[in-house]
Amino acid sequence: MPKTKNWQWYLEKQNEFEAHMHALIQTIYFGETKYQKVGIVESPTFGKMLILDGDTQSSQKDEFIYHEALVHPALIFHPNPKTILILGGGEGATLREVLKHPSVETVKMIDIDQELVELCKKYLPEWSNNAFQSPKTKVYFEDAYKYLLEDNQNYDVIISDLTEPLPDSPSNKLFTKEFFSIIKSHLAAKGIFVLQASKADCHNLELHTIIYNTLKQVFPAPQSFASRVPSFDANWGFILAALELNPPLKFQEINQRIKERNLNQLKYYDAETHEHIFSLPKYFREALKKQTNILEEAHNNIIKEEAGSFI
Amino acid sequence: MPKTKNWQWYLEKQNEFEAHMHALIQTIYFGETKYQKVGIVESPTFGKMLILDGDTQSSQKDEFIYHEALVHPALIFHPNPKTILILGGGEGATLREVLKHPSVETVKMIDIDQELVELCKKYLPEWSNNAFQSPKTKVYFEDAYKYLLEDNQNYDVIISDLTEPLPDSPSNKLFTKEFFSIIKSHLAAKGIFVLQASKADCHNLELHTIIYNTLKQVFPAPQSFASRVPSFDANWGFILAALELNPPLKFQEINQRIKERNLNQLKYYDAETHEHIFSLPKYFREALKKQTNILEEAHNNIIKEEAGSFI
Amino acid sequence: MPKTKNWQWYLEKQNEFEAHMHALIQTIYFGETKYQKVGIVESPTFGKMLILDGDTQSSQKDEFIYHEALVHPALIFHPNPKTILILGGGEGATLREVLKHPSVETVKMIDIDQELVELCKKYLPEWSNNAFQSPKTKVYFEDAYKYLLEDNQNYDVIISDLTEPLPDSPSNKLFTKEFFSIIKSHLAAKGIFVLQASKADCHNLELHTIIYNTLKQVFPAPQSFASRVPSFDANWGFILAALELNPPLKFQEINQRIKERNLNQLKYYDAETHEHIFSLPKYFREALKKQTNILEEAHNNIIKEEAGSFI
Amino acid sequence: MPKTKNWQWYLEKQNEFEAHMHALIQTIYFGETKYQKVGIVESPTFGKMLILDGDTQSSQKDEFIYHEALVHPALIFHPNPKTILILGGGEGATLREVLKHPSVETVKMIDIDQELVELCKKYLPEWSNNAFQSPKTKVYFEDAYKYLLEDNQNYDVIISDLTEPLPDSPSNKLFTKEFFSIIKSHLAAKGIFVLQASKADCHNLELHTIIYNTLKQVFPAPQSFASRVPSFDANWGFILAALELNPPLKFQEINQRIKERNLNQLKYYDAETHEHIFSLPKYFREALKKQTNILEEAHNNIIKEEAGSFI
């Protein structure tokens, strides 16, 4: 029997003209929560993959790149991060990385989609690796916007690990100047905000640079950085924004903090990786400089999913 | 949220150069039995689909075409079919159609793959529609070849509803001159044999005509016929072979038998459909005439799955 | 070098959820006329293929099926076809088949797209096979609607070989009750009209049955028929409508006319093929009966290309 | 007319399970030289693309990344590069970048495939941008291996811009320890060798690290670096190997040399980009350390194209 024939495929559309095809070993779960369509599949190349509304969220093979890049630069920048807030981050891997810093006393995670978090616990336990069971962890299933409006706590580090701010998404209003100001007001002294900030390749830098420019209206000197995540078929952008203008950490300082915090087991992040992801290609820096658009609540429709039929 | 994006696809490869892409609503089941890889999926166009080793076996939307074509011409040709033998037919839909003929007293079904039959009962109950529960039904999970060698019963109609005779398939030796002779020896007087006989379009008639020519070595006047089954992206061939050379049934006789047997509720088959499927296009008849190859056990490697990588 | 890797593909979308993938050997021509996007490609399976606006128009391997089905039933039905009008038919293969009938004195072809006809002559000469050079042939590059409004000739047979009546297509108004009445007024006594009438499979019969029902408002007893054309991944529908209600031709009469007209070299059409294509499956006949929609100029927007993005 | 439907696609297979789909605006050229299958297509996202044997070689939108990364680090490392040798580089863009360094007196380019070079000049003139017309340029259409065996010149910088060393490719023997020794023997004092060195993502680092380890047998301290090239759906690896062990250039030195050589118009490369591409992620450095395989002529079959059918 021709048992090796691949017949199940996951086609991730990037725009009207580009897609990546992944052959699948199996579909582990397929369903719909109140907020999104969820697929959990297994690929021979990338292992288990979480797919929300057709977009890859993370894969077993390379989620370490995405989650280490999202978490460690921000926490390493902070001399003594104790209270951490995560917005989104349903898989629990952002939580997992945060808890590796011994100074952390509490991590609060606000995710709108409880069903998704339960699915991740059940089908993707490698992602959270028991982080949900930590006594330091508190999870709230609420809308992050509403939660922060009513919350009167401050945080050393706030990490935004949300889905893309497409027009109909609950994430849409969480990438605006207004919301970034709310974030800022919840940062403790020396506080740091970091967020996943969309694709960052030479042909699709637009949204990333708009988010960057929006942050610049609120924070003194946001810094873009980017990591190549192969399962996304993309270079992924992040932005770090500190409350205060700090001198950049030196190579030796980063390694020193990694050592002090017992983070030598990380697979992606260390001082050289830091240098790699924070030094940007020339065209990237120029695109950041040129961007003048800002995301604001009143007219937050700059971000459009590309229209048109795929074929 | 862009909830309409299609990301799950079933790609059915037809050869190295052709494939049909079906978007999927969901994967209902995915697993492997002792004999084959089983997929049960749902397509917006064709409803539930059963996929074995990457090939569509039947779809909810058009399985009535395949199963009515396989069963009714053979049973209508027989004046009084009482004992029926089905080889394969795991979904139970062949059984379902056979049981619609009131003269039928017993239907024996021999399928090698018990796990598959259980999966079909569970996930595709519309196919068998309780036919497995009929007191007339007897199901044996055995190799059809071995079963018939030891069986000393005769049957009015034998229906072969097997997977394609690819080199490594258990179906391979069930499409040979030798096996067709065994079949013949199990036909009662006026007995009729019918089998699914692969694709039958102008660019892929080869295998069908070889099976036809093989049957011609054993039966007096086999008759090819074909039905278009859209979910297969193919015109599907069948061959009917009677023990005795009979004059063809006339239009009125077919309708008369349909009426007598209360088969007016069929969706595909009646006298005009019969005329449609048994009158073949000119190029088809000429291809049947020209074929000289025969499938024999000793060197049954004529049938090759097309080689080469798909991309 | 891995010279067998297929990297060029033609994806023919059938609707939002279904597509057929053809690997290509080469793209022979790619361009845009005033009216449509033209692709001429070569497939290992189907040879050269003509693609207009993404839809297969005909392939070298199986165009004989489509063109023989479109032309010969209509001309055979007519006892003595002398004057023929073709609407569309840019490839010249409809013309080629018409000219095989020795009684034909003039064939007029009206195609809106001169550039396309020139491309077909240059790249697909096998299709027309010198038919454009026949002294019986007259080609006019005009809008068929306008031409017929001003034309005061009558024709023995009118053949409509147009592209699908999609909303924005120039073909749209050529599939209406109003236009069919204009056609009728240009038929000579015993005149016959035949047209390609879209896909005709169990899951996409809608448009075909609407065209049929529209013709029924104008002609006494239109007859649907259908031929499987593999390169279309479809069963293709046609409709024949005679000015007068005639008894159907008998099997022997068809073969007699074929013989008299020296049409023994046809590859698809003869009396048995005629029986095959004019006897329709039961579900098809029932769908024809049930259809009540009519295409009219005033509100000819029943036909919608299926919306939504492909992925 | 649905003029926006995409029907022409380029599917770039990465292995048996992964592929990237590019919709195409047009196929500009398709043919076969003595050495390889050549496709020149246009994509809405990446502009013109050159495809050899199914693999993307470069795209109009992002070839600047690949070619600046290949050329400038090597030439900037050299204090005064005068004589340059390019192996492969048929598009002429490597040549174009080399000629931007004012110290360069002669650039010799050895490409086995004259027909390909002519096609690139004709269809992709933006790539070479008249570099072939420079009086400093000398192009030889020969096998690089044979050429270097007989050549008795030395070069300041040798740039290997060859296709992947697949088993049947003429490039295969140009990635071995033996050939790297021949290269070394053609380097002038302070000479530098740089080569494109395959994909370099976390799931496909194998070949890159083998090439690296092979170079380590011949050169004192080769340095891997990598640039994200979106049209390749990959992070692309390069390796730089100097004849002498030099201290790395400092940030200010790089910018100083860029300024002195009037390279301020580069789009990708400058000191910060240099830092970005030469600082590697942690997992990448560890993979380089662990590799023990070496490519040698005697048994150079380590590199296998992934087998199996795509679907």
Q: Is D102 exposed, middle or buried (0-12, 13-18, 19+ CB in 10 A)?
A: exposed
pLDDT for position A309: 39
In a domain, A40, yes or no: yes
**Which residue, A39, A57, A75, sits at the end of a domain?**
A57
B6 touches D: beta carbon within 8 Å:
no
Domain that holds residue D186: 63-290
Q: What is the pLDDT at residue A29?
A: 92
* Nearest residue in B to C15, CA atom: B45
Cβ separation of B166 and A13 shorter than 8 Å? no
CA-CA distance, B191 to B184, in Å (whole number)? 8
Residue at C105 is within a domain:
yes
E-assigned strands of C47-133?
Answer: 47-52, 55-59, 83-88, 106-110
Q: Hey, what amino acid is at D264?
A: N
| D299 and chain A in contact, CB less than 8 A | no
Q: Which residue has the tokens 């048109």?
A: A308
* Separation of alpha carbons D170 and D173, rounded Å: 7
Q: Which residues pair with B161 in a beta bridge?
A: B88
- DSSP states of D103-148: T--EEEEE-S-HHHHHHHHHH-HHHHTTGGG-TTEEEE-S-HHHHH
CATH of the domain at A67: 3.40.50.150
Measure the CA–CA gap between B9 and B41, rounded to whole angstroms: 10
Same domain membership, residue B77 and residue B39: no
Q: Which residues of B touch D307 (CB under 8 A)?
A: 309
* Statement: residue C147 has pLDDT above 90: yes
- Chain D residue with minimum CA distance to C307: D2
Place of tokens 């993979």: D287
Q: Which residues of C are catalytic?
A: 161
Q: Mean pLDDT in chain D?
A: 93
Dihedral Cα C10, D47, D169, D8, nearest 10 deg: 0
Region B168-188 average pLDDT: 94
Query: What's the mean pLDDT when you consider all of chain C?
Result: 93
Give the torsion sign (CA, A27, A29, A32, A38): negative
Question: Which conformational region is residue C192 in: left (phi greater than 0), alpha (psi within -120 to 50 degrees), or beta?
Answer: beta
pLDDT score at B308: 37
The pLDDT of A287-291, averaged and rounded, is 97
Q: How far apart are CA A79 and CA C192, in angstroms?
A: 89
Q: How many domains does chain D have?
A: 2
Ordered alpha helix ranges (H), chain D = 63-77, 93-98, 114-123, 125-128, 144-150, 177-185, 206-216, 251-260, 271-278, 282-290
Residue C244 has pLDDT above 60, yes or no: yes
Residue C306 near chain B (CB below 8 Å): no
Taking only the tens place, the pLDDT of each residue in B244-272 is 987 888 999 999 999 999 999 999 999 99
Position A308 scores a pLDDT of: 37
Largest CA distance in chain B: 65
Q: What pLDDT, on the 0 to 100 scale, is given for residue B309? A: 39
pLDDT tier, B1 (very low <50, low <70, confident <90, very high otherwise): very low
Query: Closest partner residue to A19 among C13, C19, C311, by Cβ?
Result: C311
Residues D239, D245, D246, D247, CA torsion sign: positive
Residues of chain C with pLDDT > 90, as a percent, come to 86
Task: State how far residue C50 is from chain B, nearest Cα, in angstroms.
Answer: 17
Q: Partners of C199 in the beta sheet?
A: C236
How far is the C-alpha of A75 from the C-alpha of A85, rounded, in Å?
Answer: 12
> Tokens 């490719």 sit at which residue?
D169
Query: Which of D35, D57, D79 is at the close of a domain?
Result: D57
The span from the CA of D276 to the CA of D192, in Å, is 20
What does the alpha-carbon distance between residue B141 and residue A17 come to, in Å, rounded to a whole number? Answer: 49
The per-residue pLDDT for D16 is: 85
CB contact under 8 A, D279 and A267: no
Q: Of B197, B198, B240, B237, which Cα lies nearest the Cα of B219?
A: B240
Q: Are A41 and A48 in contact (CB under 8 A)?
A: yes
Neighbouring-strand partners of residue D86: D109, D159
The verdict on C50 and C69 lying in the same domain is: no
Give me the pLDDT at residue B59, please.
Answer: 98
Residue A210 sits in the same domain as residue A111: yes
Domain assignment present for A299: no
In this structure, is residue C306 part of a structural domain? no
Q: Are residues D200 and D122 in the same domain?
A: yes
Average pLDDT over residues D135-164: 97
Of A161, A201, A233, A270, catalytic: A161
Confidence of residue C311 (pLDDT cuts 50, 70, 90): very low
Q: Is A64 on the interface with B (CB under 8 A)?
A: no
CB B269 within 8 A of CB C277: no
Residue D155 has pLDDT above 60, yes or no: yes
Task: Let me know if residue A122 belongs to a domain.
Answer: yes
Domain co-membership, B149 together with B235: yes
Q: Which amino acid is at A191?
A: G
Q: Number of helices (H) and strands (E) in chain B: give both, helices first.
A: 10, 13
**Is D269 within 8 Å of chain A by CB?**
yes
Q: Is the pLDDT of residue D310 over 60?
A: no
Q: Are residues C96 and C43 in the same domain?
A: no
Averaged pLDDT of chain B: 93
Please report whether residue C132 resides in a domain.
yes
The mean pLDDT value for B75-100 works out to: 98
| pLDDT tens for each residue of D13-37 | 988 899 999 999 988 998 999 999 9
ipTM of the complex: 0.95
Most confident by average pLDDT, A30-34, B243-247, D74-78: D74-78
D311 Cβ under 8 Å from any chain B Cβ: yes
Please tell me the predicted confidence (pLDDT) of residue C169: 82
The residue with greater pLDDT, C85 or A310, is C85
- My answer on whether A85 and A139 are in the same domain is yes
Instruction: Note the pLDDT tens digit of each residue in C209-232.
Output: 999 999 999 999 999 999 999 999
Burial of B267 (0-12, 13-18, 19+ CB in 10 A): middle
Q: Is B86 helix (H, G, I), strand (E, B) or coil?
A: strand
pTM score: 0.92
Mean pLDDT lowest for which of A80-84, A165-169, C151-155, D95-99?
A165-169
Dist. CA B62–CA D156, nearest whole Å: 70
Q: Which of A277-286, C8-17, C222-231 has the lowest mean pLDDT?
A: C8-17
Contact D308 A270 (CB under 8 A): no
pLDDT for residue C170: 82
Per DSSP, the residues of B246-307 read -PPPPHHHHHHHHHHTT-TT-SS-SHHHHHHHHSPPHHHHHHHHH------GGG--------
Kindly state the average pLDDT of the residues B178-199.
97
Looking at residue D281, the DSSP 8-state letter turns out to be -
Q: What is the pLDDT at residue B151? A: 96
In a domain, C296, yes or no: no
Kindly list the residues from chain D whose CB atom is less than 8 angstroms away from the CB atom of residue B309: 13, 16, 307-310
* Distance in angstroms (rounded) separating the CA atoms of residues C298 and A271: 71
Measuring CA to CA, which residue among C207, C243, C226, C190 is closest to residue C81? C190
Q: Measured between CA atoms, how close is C256 to chain B, in angstroms?
A: 16
CB B78 within 8 A of CB B98: no
Residue D143 a catalytic site member: no
pLDDT band at A57; cut points 50, 70, 90:
very high
Closest CB to A10 among B8, B13, B54? B8
Residues D212 and D70 grouped into a single domain? yes
Query: CB–CB of D132/D92 below 8 Å?
Result: yes
> A211: helix, coil or strand?
helix
- Is C15 part of the contact surface with chain A (CB cutoff 8 Å)? no
**Lowest mean pLDDT, pick from B183-197, C292-306, D49-63:** C292-306
Are D92 and D119 contained in the same domain?
Answer: yes
Specify if D296 maps to a domain.
no
Distance CA B180, CA B200 (A): 20
* pLDDT tens, position by position, A217-239: 999 999 999 999 999 999 999 99
**D72 shares a domain with D53:** no
Same-domain pairing of D49 and D76:
no
What's the CATH code of the domain at D30? 2.30.140.10
pLDDT tens string A179-198: 999 999 999 999 999 999 99
Q: Are strands A187-199 and A155-161 parallel, antiparallel or unpaired?
A: parallel
pLDDT of residue D64: 98
pLDDT at C301: 59
D189 and D265 assigned to the same domain: yes
Instruction: State the Cα–Cα distance between residues B143 and B149, nearest whole angstrom.
Output: 10
